[in-house]
Amino acid sequence: MSERLLMAGGLALIISLILGPFLIPLLRVLKFGQNIREDGPQRHLKKAGTPTMGGIIFLVGIVAASLLSAEQPTSVEMVTVVGAMLGYGLIGFIDDFIKVVMHRSLGLRAYQKLIGQIGLALLLTWVAVRFLGRGTDLIIPFTSIHLDLGLFYYPFVAFIIVGITNAVNLTDGLDGLAAGTTLFSALSFMLIALLESAQGGRVAILAHETDLAVFAAAVAGGCLGFLRFNKYPARVFMGDTGSLALGGALVGLAVLTKSELVLLLIGGVYVIEAFSVIIQVISFKTTGKRVFKMSPIHHHFELSGWNEWRVVLTFWAAALVCGLLGIVAFLPGLG
């Protein structure tokens, strides 16, 4: 098993490292450059024109590494998690394409994005319940309690899925922030999948539970390879193509390992980023005052005098702690 994990992570890493130097100049020639918010930190204005949609780099690596390393690459569970990643990545790609190529600054309308994201979330949960015997129960973190939601499982988990995928997208605001954070989240799910597999699995008919660990290892390897080009100062941005795809990968892993609520702990950085935006909007709409200097919260620290690299390293450390906390929260449910 360890050989397949190393193979998946290593292949995704190598493919990303090889593909980057070819794709980045192509994106630059095609003028797929990032537009920078004028109301954002002034130091970010120099990033204008940096190639975006670079998520393609690690998506190719993750898919290839997963399929080549999996015990059963065409199994329903592998197709489901890869499909979730690519499905959300496609929404991001369309959004990026409209913004960058068609020069429509807003990209997809909010309702268009939501329709696609909710549709994919419901499809993911339906496949997991109908074809993988996942059931409609949730396991409460830090306990072995199973709470069966019945039909309410679908809208409840769809809300988590849409929330997390958009939260990963919000986190992609500094060089290397989303890629590094997701690296730790993916490693956490790799351990969760391995622990679950050792206990026989909590999803009834997953014949190849370890393939979920292989996929998670590939996600981690792809993120690590992408950091070679995305760390400060970034030579390429992942765009919505990459950030929504990474969110899709994480929610796919969470659903198939029955750890949707644990995902809120593992993805604690994403949750904080999203809540900072919600708090900022509510505060400004109701009182006319801002709680943070700017949201998402990583910009607040920037405007408080932290340099970009310090913010990113701090958030990476927080992601590591959140990942460990999520694994601890998951353990009692194995019994």
Q: Where are the domains of the chain?
A: 2-135+144-258
Tens digit of each residue's pLDDT (9 = 90 or more) over 94-114: 999 998 877 776 778 889 999
Tens digit of each residue's pLDDT (9 = 90 or more) over 150-186: 999 999 999 999 999 999 999 999 999 999 999 999 9
b/e map 301-315, b = 16+ CB within 10 Å: bbeeeeebeebbbeb
Mean pLDDT of the chain: 91
Residue of 185, 184, 177 whose CA lies nearest to 234: 177
Residue 102 near residue 31 (C-beta atoms within 8 A): no
Q: Can you say whether residue 331 is alpha, beta or left, with left for phi > 0 and alpha for psi between -120 and 50 degrees?
A: alpha
What pLDDT shows up at residue 204? 42
Gap between the Cα atoms of 208 and 210, Å rounded: 5
Average of per-residue pLDDT across 237-242:
95
Band (220; pLDDT cuts 50, 70, 90): very high
Residue of 66, 27, 69 whose CA lies nearest to 50: 27
Gap between the Cα atoms of 125 and 120, Å rounded: 9
Q: Which two tokens stand for residue 217?
A: 């290892």
What pLDDT shows up at residue 42? 55
At 149, is the secondary structure helix, strand, or coil?
coil
Tens digit of each residue's pLDDT (9 = 90 or more) over 280-326: 999 999 999 999 999 999 999 999 999 999 999 999 999 999 999 99
What pLDDT shows up at residue 133? 87
